[in-house]
Structures are given as structure tokens and as C-alpha cells.
Structure 1
Amino acid sequence: MTTEQMNIDRKLSEFPRARLMTEVTQVERLDRLSDRLGIDLWLKRDDLTGLSFGGNKTRQLEFYFGEAVQQRADTVLITGAVQSNFVRTAAAAAARLGMKSVLQLEERVPGMGEQYYRSGNVLLAKVLGAEHMHFPVGEDEVGADNALHERAAQLIANGHRPYVIHLGIDHPPLGALGYVQGGAELGAQISDFDAAVVPSGSGSTHGGFLTGLRLSGVHAPVYGICVRRDQDQQYARMEKVLGRLAALMDFDPAIVMNGINVWDGVLAPGYGQVGQGTRDALTLMARTEGIFLDPVYSAKTFSGLLGLLDEGVISKGQKVVMLHTGGLPALFGYQEVIESI
């Protein structure tokens, strides 16, 4: 372990943490796609984090649940889209730690069929025994958080000790700490790559990953593929996330601010909606490497990687790492979309 990695571990040890990861996730070379695309392509397999079908949210939830355990919470409340991997994984983490979970599902994706509301992550959360709430708006983070606090107040009145995992950007980005660890982990596994590609939504995964790499001394560009907001909106969000993360961990934000790269070339037709490029990326990965991607994050990320390659931002012959964020249960919620491919 390098001095930089020891320093990261020491800094992260200052925050309470509930261990939910099974082990370090592997980095795998995709031989057939490397040959086909003319790059040296590697996949960081955070679809294999272990808890409840895996996915990137496990890393983030270790720090939220660490604080919840420290506060002796008995119920965790969280908000997200109907097919949110975050809320499903939170329900699984709560079950493992002996807590109840309250999941608020937001209407973020218009025009979806019956399977979207019954299968995938929704089904798994019901198996996990989660309580469900409904929030009719998809782009009101403050309102969604306020609704959670209203339910939390009811729980307190009934003698419970709730803990709210906030969606809004004005709260400390505890989840990003998980990807500071994730970025440092990748830097210890493979540090000679030319570019990394990650999804960029809430900013926690993207921001933490960039920070972990930079604090580890890895300076390759990290490209965040916009999955929810356009490039200008996402850039501004990343500045806020990284500023708050720097304050939380007490490091100079200049270390990361000049490393913000976001690209929205495959965002259309919008969050949680599957355009042709996303369809093509999902099937290309499956039919070339036998690896599944989810339609909301990881397929869009791979589609973005292909777009950056087409534009020459990523060059032929470069060594590229893509972060696979998991989310595979959502495939079943998108059955009608998948069947149309």
C-alpha cells in the first residue's frame, strides 16, 4: 500500500462505517471488445459488490449506515426513482443491520408500463419487507427530502429512531466517501490507464471516484457520462459535490476541480429512458462479452464511452477503464423496452 492510499484510509477511518462490501471488486480486461473497438478496455466490476445483486450503491451506503448505526437508528428512509438501485440496496442493508426501511418512489420516468412498477427493484424491495411511499414529482429534491422528514416525524411520534438519507445536494455527501475508497482501490489495482469513464447522476459516485484517484496520485482524465442532467447543469452540480466533499475530508478542492469532465451526448431522451445508443451499447456488451448492463446507468455509460471514442476524445490504442455500477434488477423492470430490441 502506498503512502497516498494509507492517507486515504486514515482519513476515511474518521467516519463511521457499516461494512457491507464482500471484498475488493475485480478489474477485468474485455478482450473481444478491446479488439473490436481498437482500445485496451477494462471493466471495474462494481456490479459485484455482493449485497442484494451488487452495484455501486453498496459503497455509498456503508457510510450512511455507519452514521445511522452510530445514532442507534431503527429505521432508514430514502428516496429515488421507481426502479432505483439505491433504495433497493438500502432496504437490503437495513435488513442486514436489523433495521426497517422506508422507500419513497418518485415519478421520474414518464410513459412506463406495468412491469416498471411491479418487477425489478420494486419486487426485490417488497421481498425485503420495505415500506413504500409515493412522491408524484421527479425533479424536486427538496420536496422529496421534506416528504421523508414528514414520515420520519410520524415515526418519532410512535417511538422510533429514524435516519434520513437525503437526496438534496445541500447535505454532506457521505455516500461519495465510498467512492473515494473505490477510486483509491482502482488506483492500487491498475494505475497506468489513459482514461476512466463513469456515470454522472447525483455526483456522489463520479465525485468520489475522481477524488480517490487524484488523492492516490492517478491523474488520468475521468469522464462522467450524464444520465440525468445536461452538461452545464451537471458541471455545476459536480462543483458543489466536490466542494462539499473537500470540506468533509479537509483537502484542497483545487486537487479535483480542474478534473471535472462531463458529457451529455447520450442523455437523450432523458433520465431512465432508453435511446438507440443505449440499446446498442447494452446489446453490444452482452453479445460480445456476456456481461449485462442496466438501461439507466451502466448501458448509458458504455454508450458514452463509444461516443467519446467516435469523437476522438478517447483515442484508438488508449487504455480505458469503465466503472460498471451494476443495477441489473432494473433490466426486469424495463422488460417491455428490452423485448423491443
Structure 2
Amino acid sequence: MDVMERAARIEAEGGHVIHMEVGQPAAPAPDSAREAARRALDHGRIGYTTALGLPSLRARIARHYGDSYGVDLDPARVVVTTGSSAGFILAFLAMFEPGDRVAIANPGYPPYRHILTALGCEPVLIETDAASRWVITPEALADAHRQAPLKGVLVASPANPTGTMMRPEALAELVATAEALGIRFISDEIYHGLDYAFPATTAAALSANATIINSFSKYFCMTGWRVGWMVMPAPLVRAAERLQQNLTISVPTLSQIAAEAAFDGAAQMEAVKHGYEENRLILTQALPRAGLPEFLPVDGAFYLYADISRFTDDSAAFARRLLDEAHVATTPGVDFDPHRGHHYLRLSYAGALEEMREAVARIGAFLARG
């Protein structure tokens, strides 16, 4: 957010900033979603829905799991949420008590640990490395559990900030280990659909006890609509329903109507995904020539996590200089990793093709200047 504010000042003064700092698609929501919202507005009154969400949307989400993963999912296990952010809050409140320890990968999405801390839980950062393809291993989870009992573990595949994915066998082994140890498993699947190296696997296919959190924000380009969903173990659905009734009553109805129609825009979204793939190719091929040859596996999502340790040990200062001098906005790794993040930079490639080419040229010129 600090980078965005600084970029806005540069743009107000007439500068052209290439935005690679925020994980937000440049494309709009599918035509089908926007048209459904227009029809709903023309119809008149937009009222509350039930706390768990529109029954037709929950059924459509359940059908999606059959179509995309071959999973026969009961719509009763689907909970519609105000984006994935509310999903994390509801899931943590339904599963954990203050003082509970919950494992998350490091580096990882900052709100995981911030929400847990705000709710009185203890986030346990499990270090990842190249040997494991930057994911939590069963051995690391078991070791953290031996040190002090864990109540939960949260993983993301594709991950933010790295873009790396868990191979199907790695995810299955981790789910099995968590269940054997009595650790609740949460799978953040918000970037599903944006997979390039190999198809993403849903934890819903591996266990009925896993909680899946997803959103229409990324693949369906609906960030500002603030609508997502959870697939929960059946015994937890009632707790999530009561929490949502008290915290928000229901998810915005207009967003739910649009979200249901978004599934009809899959062909349009696949074209957007193809654009990300082209951007990914530009970065992975051109950044090494520009002077950034080291980055984590770019499997999915729309992020590249680059090692800048040959240039700096202060990623925040480096990102400021890159913005001020080259007008390329990026996110310093310290946002995602309090231990090693000062050596990394996250670049989002969710923007336009020509801007990616221009960004690489600007980064190369910036690095050449030293």
C-alpha cells in the first residue's frame, strides 16, 4: 500500500508508472457477470440473502468442483463469503481458540499471520526452501507439532508471493500427515485456474475434513466485488453460518448474483489467463538477461518472486529506488517474509503485455546504472 501511494504521487506529477505491486487483474469481470448485475439492478430491490449465500450460487460452486476436479460436492458444505478475506476470518473463528498455534509457510501472504494474531492465535512460520520447491513438507509440519502442538495448518497452491505450486503427491502427503496428527487443514485455492506448469489439485479431492477457501477475485477478475467461498467439513458449516449472521448478516446480494453468472464467462477468462501466460514467458525469459536471473518456480498465479540479494540486503529501499528512478512499482519481500524477505522482490504480471516488455527494459536499465 505504501508503494501504491508513492506511485500515485509520481503519476499525479505526470510520470508513467508500470504497476507490478498489486495482485489485481487488469481485465474486468466477465461480461456474463456484469450483465447479470445490470439485470438485477433493473429488476429493483436488492435485499439480504441467507447467511450461507444464495442457494443457486452454492449449487453452482458445488457443480464447479465436479466439472473442474471430478469431486462430487454437497452444496450444503459451501459457504459464500465476502471475498477470501472474510473466509479466513470465519474459518479461523470456527476452528480455533485464542492461544492455538497455526502453521503457515514462510514466505507467505501477510494477512494469514496478521488475522491469526488479531484473533489471539499464534502463527507458526515454517521455513521453506528450494529443496522442497518452497512448500511445507510433512516432516517440517511434524517437527513443528512436536515442538508444541499445532491446531491447524494453512497452505496455498499456487502461492502468494512465490507463484509456486504443490505437486499433487506433495499435497496429498501433507493432508494425510495433518489428519494423522489431528491438525486441521486449510487450503487457500484463490489462484486455482491460474496454473501453468501443471494442473492444480484441490484439497477437497483428498479429504472431506479439509477446509477450502477460494474467491472470484483472481481467475474471474472480480476483486472489487468482494465475493468468495469456502468448502467446509459438514460439522463446521453451522458455526460458520452463525458467525456470518452476526458479523455481516450476508454477503452483498448483487455480488453473489454476478458471481453465479461469472461461471458462464469461462471462455473469456481463459483468454485472460492466456495473457498471463504470455506475460510469464516474457518475464522468465527476459529478466535473466536484464540482470535478475534467480527467482522461485513460476508455476501459477501471476507472481514472480525474484532474488535481489546480489544488489541489496534491503528490499524495501530497493523497491523505492526502482519506483523513483525507473517508475516500476514492485512489492518488497519483507511484506511476505520477516526473516529473508529483505533479499526478495515480488513482481505481479497481471498487467498488459506491452507493459511487461517495458517493465523488463526499465528494470534492465536501472540495474545497469547500479
TM-score (norm 1): 0.38
Highest CA radius of gyration, 1 or 2?
2
